[in-house]
Every structure is written in C-alpha cells, then in structure tokens.
Copies of this chain bind each other. A is one copy, B any other.
C-alpha cells in the first residue's frame, strides 16, 4: 500500500483489528477520522486511552468500575439480597436497560467451556460463593446465556449453591413479545409450553 502514508496505513491496520471491521470499513473509518474536526478524532483517541487507564473490575461483583466499586454496588438503593449472575459486563448492561431489576449482579467474566479450555477456576465463582457466605443474600438469579455453555455454567453453579441457604432461580424462557408463533422454532415453543404461566 505505497499509496497511503505511513500514519494512515497504521490507523487502517489498527481499526481493522476491531471486531466486525473489515479492511474496507477500516479504510472508510480512517478517512472519516481524517475528515472530521480534529476535536472529534482526538476525542475518540482520548476516550480509548481514558477507559484503559481508569476502568477496572469492581472489587465486589467484577462489573466494570472506575473506583473500588461499580456504580451498581455503590448504589445503596439497590437490593443487596438479590444477586443476578451474568457472564459478561455487557450482559449486565443489557439487563439494566430493561429497568426491571433492582438487585445486585455478579459477573463471571466468562462461562465454563471445556472445549475452549475455560474451567470453573478461571471464572469469578469463588468470589460469588464468598458473597453468599457473607450472608444477607436471599436469591441468586442465573442469567447466563441460553446456550449449551451458559446453561451448563448455570447448572454447575446451582449445584455448588445447593449447599447454601439461598434460593436459585433462572430467567424465564418462552416466546418473545412481538414474535409470530408460526415462525417460532420448536425449542422455543417447548420452553414456552413447559414454563406456561397461570393467567
């Protein structure tokens, strides 16, 4: 690529490392960053640097945090008797956007995946058990992904937690609001029938 300057070539390479950004998109983004007001481009550069310098894991739940505790653990209005277990901070954020849950979270930072070499000891399970043992926790809500690995992780955890005085629940499964029965696949319909609720 002798026709691009060294800086542009490097920027295209760096942008191309982002997930879902191919070579063409990386070029488009690079030229965009060259065209916008300098404050906007530098704003992005600073935001990236900032996040890497200031964001760490919450000491209690492993959500992303800027201080010792994340915004949720440090919010005294949240119900500390409920802990919702998720795989990643992004899952936590998705659940928060539903604005329904007022308890705390626990982020596993992954799921048990033997094929990828991820065992229980690489997750933050010890800290979760510790939190339950510290007392005051009434319910653990499993909100791992509804996949083989996510379900397996939830099952593993519920076995571990069975010895402790805590209720373990999981997110409801069923048809999705706004969907069409005719086009809903059989696994989803089976879940919906099995978990049917009284009106």
Residues of chain A touching chain B, judged by Cβ–Cβ distance below 8 Å, are 2-8, 10-11, 13-15, 17-20, 25, 27-34, 36, 38, 40-52, 54-55, 64-66, 70-72, 75, 88-90, 92-93, 96
Contact = CB atoms under 8 A, between A and B. Distances in A.
B51 A30 contact: yes
> Chain A contact residues: over half helix, strand or loop, or mixed?
helix
18 contacts: A2-B75, A4-B64, A7-B47, A8-B51, A8-B64, A11-B47, A11-B48, A13-B47, A17-B40, A19-B29, A20-B25, A27-B90, A31-B88, A33-B51, A34-B51, A34-B89, A41-B49, A42-B52
Give this chain's copy count: 2
Contacts of A71: 2-5
